Amino acid sequence: PVHWRSTNNLHHGHRYSYLLYIHLGCQVFQDINHLNTTFKNTDMENIKICVIGLGYVGLPLARLFSTKYPTIGFDKNEERINKLMSGHDNTLEVNDDLLQEAIDKHGFLCTNDIDKIKECNFYIVAVPTPVDKNNHPNLYPLWSASETVGKVISKGDIVVYESTVYPGVTEEECIPVVEKISGLTYNQDFFAGYSPERINPGDKEHTVEKIKKVTSGSTPEIAEIVDAVYNSVLSNGTHKAPSIKVAEASKIIENSQRDVNIAFMNELAKIFNAMGIDTNDVIEAAASKWNFIKLKPGLVGGHCISVDPYYLIQKAQVYGVLPRVMFAARRLNDGMGAYVAEQTIKCMNKKGVMVKDAKILVLGITFKENCPDIRNTKIVDIYHTLTEYTENITIYDPWANTEEVKHEYNINITNELPTGQYDAVILGVAHKEFLKLDIKKLTKDKSVIYDVKGILDRNIIDGRL
């Protein structure tokens, strides 16, 4: 158990030395001298966790913590709360059996009633960090969540942020809001940590309990406590960063690195397509060398890789640094949807297929396979480019919520495989359902098949990335 010894009985002006004991098996951490912080008189058995934000990240995390600690999930979306408490997660990140078990066996509660989270003492913020139409960081969800924390946090409590941000956001943007609303003083009355989320939507192999988490705290002692709490539910442990800013930076470069690497492969695809060389053949040949990093070209959408680099780009410019490589990667990857549409049209022209008013089928609209997540999907860019030539476009996706797509993008899609034949078929997402399709049955004699994901038989396709 972790013991946080209270200093409420210390007289002002006196110097005291005492021990903060953290027992993990037989391990006891070092003495802490002249500690000027106040901890709650509690231990690991009395920790009560509240996860704020029950989306793709927050819900799996809250469900996992509920197996060991009293846990409440808080979200302002009443419809989302009602659905979760009925035992179903629309994001499909937590299966119904696990969710129901958490509710029935572990007392897991989801609520939008702020009064029900006031008794918690370990708050975790897992809200989105989007960008605006100009790709500038939008911190409103974080500010709003911090206001919520400020209304309920008490002396000795800890708030840990998981949202992906540029270095400094936790202590420069979020904590001042908590201080203002609560009237408490940071690192005297309450404390903070940062543990960046690493959940991969739709990934049933690298689930939250198997992910190695980075942790950090606002003081060395709090860092130990935050690390101990996360370690207690993770099978692969943690990496304790030396500061909150280091932890923030580690997350932002994880996604920025992938963005730059994929941009390089996309640029190669453009070059080799222009030269009439199959990019996938080139990659397979190059991958025969032991130190070649094998990646593939593709559309870069979603809530992480296509968004997070803009946070670091924006912050870097504040310090007078222009991140040219990152900026060029973002611009290149953001243009790949339009490129796919243009390549499809080029194939149609070469094959003598009339582009104007052509009947086109797009397979998939989610940003990745076998997942209902439509956030920042680049399939939308394919669609909008094609609408310059034809309005006869059908998007079929058995995973996406039709109402959500209509609300978010004003595009009508279908969850049922359409009948009839099309002048062009674009496979945009590698859903397992599409791997079983006889796509030739959906085409005419001179139709074009374009494979964005590089998974179809090359003998039936007319083009691919």
What SS3 state is found at 462? coil
Q: State how far the Cα of 325 lies from the Cα of 253, in Å rounded to an integer.
A: 13
* Residue 408 backbone phi and psi in degrees, to 5: -80, -40
| Segment 233-240 long-range contacts (CB within 8 Å, at least 24 positions apart) | 233/64, 233/65, 233/67, 233/68, 233/209, 234/209, 234/210, 235/209, 235/210, 236/210, 236/211, 236/212, 237/212, 238/195, 238/212, 238/213, 238/214, 239/212, 239/213, 239/214, 239/215, 240/214, 240/215, 240/216
* Inter-residue contact 168 to 245 (CB < 8 Å): yes
Q: State how far the Cα of 77 lies from the Cα of 54, in Å rounded to an integer.
A: 9
The residue written with tokens 């689930």 in the block is: 207
Contact residues for 299 (Cβ-Cβ < 8 A; gap 6+): 333, 336, 337, 340, 367, 377, 378, 379, 428, 452
What SS3 state is found at 440? helix
- Residues facing residue 33 across a β-bridge: 17
The angle subtended at Cα 206 by Cα 302 and Cα 81, nearest 5°, is 65
Secondary structure letter of residue 109 according to DSSP: E
What SS3 state is found at 382? helix
* Residue 226 C-alpha from the chain's centroid: 21
| Residue 265 amino acid letter | M
Residue 463 is inside which H or E element, if any? strand 463-464
Of 426, 425, 300, 414, the C-alpha closest to 368 is 300
Is position 304 annotated as part of the catalytic site? Answer: yes
* Inter-residue contact 394 to 347 (CB < 8 Å): no
Q: Which of 110, 304, 347, 371 is catalytic?
A: 304
Burial of 86 (0-12, 13-18, 19+ CB in 10 A): exposed
* Inter-residue contact 81 to 55 (CB < 8 Å): no
| Active-site residue set | 304
